[in-house]
Amino acid sequence: MSRAPHAAPAAGNDPVGREAIVRFALLCSGAATPADLEAVQRWRMERPEHERAWQRLENLRQTLSALPRGVAAPTLRAASARRRAVLKSVAALAGTGVLTYGSYRAAPWREWMADHRTPTGGFDEIVLADGTRIALDTASAIDVRYTPTRRLVHLLAGQILVATAPDSARPARPFTVLTEDGAARPLGTRFTARKLAAGTHVAVYAGQVEVQPLRGARSLLVPAGRAATFSTTEPGTLQAADESALAWREGSVAALDWRLEDLLAELARYRPGYLGCDPAVADIRVSGTYPVRDTDKALAVLAQSFPIRVRTMSRYWVRVEPR
pLDDT tens string for the chain (323 positions)?
333 333 333 444 577 877 887 777 776 655 556 677 778 888 888 888 888 888 877 766 655 555 444 444 444 444 444 444 444 444 444 444 333 333 333 445 567 678 899 988 999 999 999 999 999 999 999 999 999 899 999 999 999 999 999 998 899 999 999 999 999 999 889 999 999 988 999 999 999 999 999 998 899 999 999 999 999 999 999 999 988 899 999 999 999 999 999 999 999 999 988 999 999 999 999 999 999 999 999 999 999 999 999 999 888 899 999 99
**C-alpha–C-alpha distance, residues 282 and 261, integer Å:** 5
In this prediction, residue 202 carries a pLDDT of: 98
Alpha-carbon dihedral sign for residues 298, 304, 310, 312: positive
HSE, CB side, 13 Å, CA atoms: give it for residue 43: 18
pTM exceeding the 0.85 threshold for the entire prediction: no
According to DSSP, residue 300 is labeled H
Are 64 and 76 within 8 A, CB to CB?
yes
HSE, CB side, 13 Å, CA atoms: give it for residue 132: 27
**C-alpha–C-alpha distance, residues 82 and 76, integer Å:** 10
Phi, psi of 244 (to 5 degrees): -70, -15
In this prediction, residue 7 carries a pLDDT of: 39
- Cα 139 to chain centroid distance, Å, stands at 5
How would you classify the pairing of strands 317-322 and 274-277? parallel
Residue type, 115: D
Are 159 and 140 within 8 A, CB to CB?
yes
**C-alpha–C-alpha distance, residues 294 and 205, integer Å:** 27
Give me the helix-helix angle, 69-78 and 80-94, nearest 10°: 60
In three-state secondary structure terms, 88 is: helix
In this prediction, residue 29 carries a pLDDT of: 55
